[in-house]
Structure 1
Amino acid sequence: MNIFLKIEETLQKQLPFVAYRKPNTSVLKGRFQKNNNLITSINYSESGFIFAPFDSSEKAIIIPEEQSDFYQEEITLNNNFIDDATYTADSSSEENHIQLVKKGVKAIKNKLFKKVVLSRKEKVEVSNFNLIQTFQKLLYNYPTAFVYVWYHPKVGLWLGATPEILVSIQNNQFTTMSLAGTQIYNGTTNVIWQPKEIEEQQFVTDYIIDRLSEICSEITTSETETIKAGNLLHIRTVIHGNLTTDCSTLINTLHPTPAVCGLPLMASKQFITNNENYSRNFYTGFLGELNLNTNKTISSELFVNLRCMEVENNTISIYVGGGITKDSDPTKEWEETTAKTITMKKVL
């Protein structure tokens, strides 16, 4: 059966499912749960598809390999979508976000932490929302991203196109990345980065290497590079190593990273909890394949849940944020979040 038809059929039956395509591939995969049980992960020891929230103290949801049907197919998409949906955006949050960023900068200057990632949720009212068409638009527009649609009748419906790997593990070898800094793409990746963005990305790299050195060996890093993700550019460093402990310890060590939380971790996370005034839910959590056994190789490939939206009937909640340092300009930070909403609004 065609996966898009399977999505429609499973949604009608109100059963959990996920459909996804990995970056730079043309294979669409789907995992469709046979019952509507809400199954949570115990220490990331299961096999299947994991969907984890930002708050690591909350349970991650798993669609287990043994309780689901798996489909995959090659897809070819053309840009022949009918744009019959219209939307109206909530524009009331600009002043709130600017004040939040000012508060964050002040806390950094008062040495409460070095960096904090502050986010917001923008609600968009949509007429004639079409799930399959929206998902296909995401797949078409963001070929270099991890693109997904995830549904559970007891949780909700989420879609996204994320550029960031949390970690990829094959047996005892892993790859992760440090991704930070944002510019709007204007036709070239040959751009100049400001000290604020360079510093922010280095914070993330140093933190990850420091944390991994306690549980990993032979850690190597790539040269820093500029990458394109949708209409945006970011600074990236790729990090490799050998795992000397289990998968669960590695995930718990990496999540949440400073790229979605801040530095030091606990102080910045507490500031987020106290000041963002909304729940991130699964935004800046992670998702992906967990402990799959393929050709005698146990592999996991997990992505940070960025550039995502939650769908409730015709109300779309778009989640966006940005890294704040002592040199952050609150107005520019607002503009950065606005640029990031374009990724999602482009497909509505």
Structure 2
Amino acid sequence: MSVLITTEMLGEHPKLSSVKTNLDLSSAWIRSGDGLVGFGTYKKLIVTGEDRFDQARAWWNHQLSEFQINNNVHGSGTGPLLFASFAFDSASPSVLVIPEVVFGQKSGKSWVTWIGDTKQPNLESINNASVSGEITWQNADKGEENWRKQVTSVIAAIKDGLVEKVVLARDLTATSTKEIDARSLLQRLEIEYPSTWLFLVDGLVGATPELLVRLSKSLVTSRVLAGTIRKSGNEDRDLTLAASLAKSSKDLEEHEYAVKSVADGLAPFCSSTNVPESPFVLHLSNVMHLATDVTGVLNSSAKQADIFTLVNQLHPSAAVCGTPTGVAKKYITQLEQMDRDRYSGPVGWIDAQGDGEIAIALRCGLLSQDRKSIRIFAGCGIVSDSNPEKEFAESQSKLIPMRTALDTL
């Protein structure tokens, strides 16, 4: 028996991060005020293994085959939606979620999609989310020496010609006297980082500046980031820092590896690709990154190529793993001594037409089951000219978005 899914236009345009229904907030994807928020969970699936992207495709297609879709809006992101958060490593669990209700907004147009033969759900707008409890940081001042030793080991391996680049990550854990409210985190991140992709999928919440892949009809887009410098807070000084970042041989080398891994990954599936010769400097509120937007047109002869194929091909990119990929992953396993879980994995949404946006889960945290603790993460790309002290300072900068959002709840 088919399941009815209805999408209708809305006349009102409330702020996405403030929308509320009688169901719990389960998923979100917001950038510059536009995006999607999901409530409740119609179905959820955990997948693991090297074929997890194939499993995800098969499950989503099966769900779509059971839907009777009544979409009066049309366009990317309308109709039934799948929110996905894949683990960095295939052995860790990846999560697929189909919300019961999705509220969407784009370019002044708002819509709602709901599952079931019921009337349109009531949507409310709230000014503030719940107040969380007092935050305590665990091991916030420990692990620095160990992490620097890991970086030193990688630099030595690079200089010995064993590997070209390795991305190392570290984590911190915060505990709260009350449940940590994901909506509050999203709202605070939205204030400070409106140009990033804000996301929430099954307890993974963050604000990432890096888009792994967007597929819109046949147009493919990927925003690659690698190379970072912390802002000073002084506008003139930051312009000087931006210029130095754009000329930094260390950062340009790191960035080149990341761009090449994405361009090479897309090439077999695209009839044409465009890779700018030089990166631009992306300014965020606390840091600046070297960035390159790689675009391509999906080859019509690549019949099996869809967004799941592209994600499988691109992950893990050199921006979150290193190069060569297999060798870099071995160093990560050997040195990090932690489970990244869904940090630095693909996260985003896919619609019934196969369009979607999948980012890399950076600047994020993973809430515990009881919502009273959260692990936050940061990673740095290590190349031959890296300096352990500077890399640690960079990792501290990358922890700031989540630390600040949590400390001000």
Determine if contact 1:39/1:63 at 8 Å carries over to the other structure: no
Q: Which residue of 2 aligns with 1:284?
A: 344
Match of 2:11 in 1: none
Matched, 1:70 2:102: yes
Of 22, 25, 32, 1:24 maps to 32
Does 2:247 align with 1:192?
no
1:228 corresponds to which residue? 283
**Counterpart amino acid of 1:34?**
Y
Q: 1:332 aligns with which of 387, 390, 394?
A: 390
Residue 366 of structure 2: aligned partner: 310
**Structure 1 residues 56 and 82, CA gap change in structure 2 (3 angstroms):** closer
Query: How far is 1:216 from its partner?
Result: 1.8
Letter in 2 for 1:60: S
Residue 303 of structure 1 aligns with an amino acid whose one-letter code is A
Aligned-pair Cα RMSD in Å: 2.9
Code of the residue aligned with 1:20 in structure 2: it is W
> 1:251 deviation in Å?
1.5
* Paired residues of 2:167 and 2:380 also in contact (CA < 8 A): yes
1:50 counterpart SS class: strand
CA distance in structure 2 between the partners assigned to 1:58 and 1:148 by the alignment:
20
The 8 Å contact of residues 162 and 308 in structure 1, kept in 2 or not, is answered as yes
Q: What is the CA–CA distance in structure 1 between the aligned matches of 2:130 and 2:18, rounded to whole Å?
A: 15
Question: Partner residue of 1:154?
Answer: none
- SS of the residue aligned with 2:40? strand
Q: Share of identical aligned residues, percent?
A: 28
Question: Which residue identity is paired with 2:87?
Answer: P
How do residues 245-264 of structure 1 correspond to structure 2 at under 5 angstroms?
245=302, 246-247=305-306, 248-264=308-324
Is 1:322 the equivalent of 2:380?
yes
Structure 1 range deviating more: 280-289 or 216-225:
216-225
Q: Structure 2: which 5+ runs fail to align?
A: 1-13, 61-80, 111-123
* Pair member with larger Rg: 2
Kindly state the Cα deviation for residue 158 of structure 1 after the two structures are TM-superposed: 1.9
Superposition map of 1:1-348 within 5 A: 6=20, 9-10=23-24, 17-21=26-30, 23-35=31-43, 37-40=44-47, 43=54, 44-45=56-57, 46=60, 48-56=82-90, 60-64=94-98, 68-72=100-104, 85-90=134-139, 91-131=141-181, 132-151=183-202, 157-186=203-232, 187=235, 188=238, 190-193=242-245, 194-222=248-276, 223-244=278-299, 245=302, 246-247=305-306, 248-293=308-353, 298-312=354-368, 313-348=371-406
Q: Distance in 2 between matches of 1:99 and 1:272?
A: 13
Question: What amino acid is aligned across from residue 225 of structure 1 in structure 2?
Answer: F
Q: Aligned-pair distance for 1:237? A: 0.9
Alpha-carbon distance, 1:318 to partner = 1.0
Per-residue deviation, 1:59: 5.5
Does 38-47 or 244-253 show the bigger shift? Answer: 38-47
Say if 1:208 and 1:257, in contact at 8 Å, map to a contact too. Answer: yes
TM-score norm. by structure 1 comes to: 0.85
Q: Distance in 1 between matches of 2:90 and 2:21?
A: 29
Structure 1 unmatched runs, 5+: 12-16, 152-156
